Amino acid sequence: MESLRTSAIRLVAAASFLLILIGGFEPFYLRIFGIDRNGMGAAFAEMPFRKVTGLQAFLKGVHAHTPPRARIALWLPFRKWDGGYGYAFYRAGYLVPGKQVVPLLAQGEDRVEPANLAQADYVASLGERISIPGFESVWQDEHGVLLKAVRKPLAK
C-alpha cells in the first residue's frame, strides 16, 4: 500500500511539474530565433534618444563635421535643465566621442551661461536656425545647424 501511495505522489508531482512547464511556456521562446536582429538592434540603439526627436541623427552629423577634441556647445529647444536640456546634454557625450560637450545652460539651473559660449569651438543648434556673432554656419541638416567660431588672428 505504501509503494502505491508513493507512486501516486510521484505521479502527481511529475504531472504538476509538467503542467507548470507547459503553463510557463511563452511562444516568444520560439519566435526569438526568427527576429530581425539588425532591426531590433537599431530600435534598441534609438531608444535612449526617443524623447528628443532628431538628436541622435543630428549629433552623428555634428560628430562627422567636427575635428577630434573639439569643444561643442549645445543650443537646444529646451530652456530648463530638468525640462529636457539635461536629458539631451548627457546623451550628447555618447554621440560625439573624443569631443567635449559644453552646456549653454548653467548646470542644474535654468539660465544661459554666456561664459560657456566663449569656451566653445562650435555651437550645435538642434531645432533652431540661429546666428551668433563670432560664429559662422559650416553644416546643417533637417534637424539643426552647426556653427564654427571665427577666430580673428592676433595683431602683430
Task: State the total domains in the chain.
Answer: 2
Residue 63's domain comprises 51-149
Give the 3-state secondary structure of 52-85.
CCCHHHHHHHHHHCCCCCCEEEEECCCCCHHHCH
What are the counts of helices (DSSP H) followed by strands (DSSP E) for the chain? 6, 5
| Domain contains 45 | no
* Segment 80-139, tens digit of pLDDT: 988 889 999 999 999 999 999 999 998 777 888 888 888 899 999 998 889 899 999 999
| Domain contains 105 | yes
Residues 24 and 96 reside in one and the same domain: no
Residues 72 and 144 reside in one and the same domain: yes
| Domain contains 40 | no
Question: pTM value?
Answer: 0.72
| Domain contains 44 | no
Residues 59 and 83 reside in one and the same domain: yes
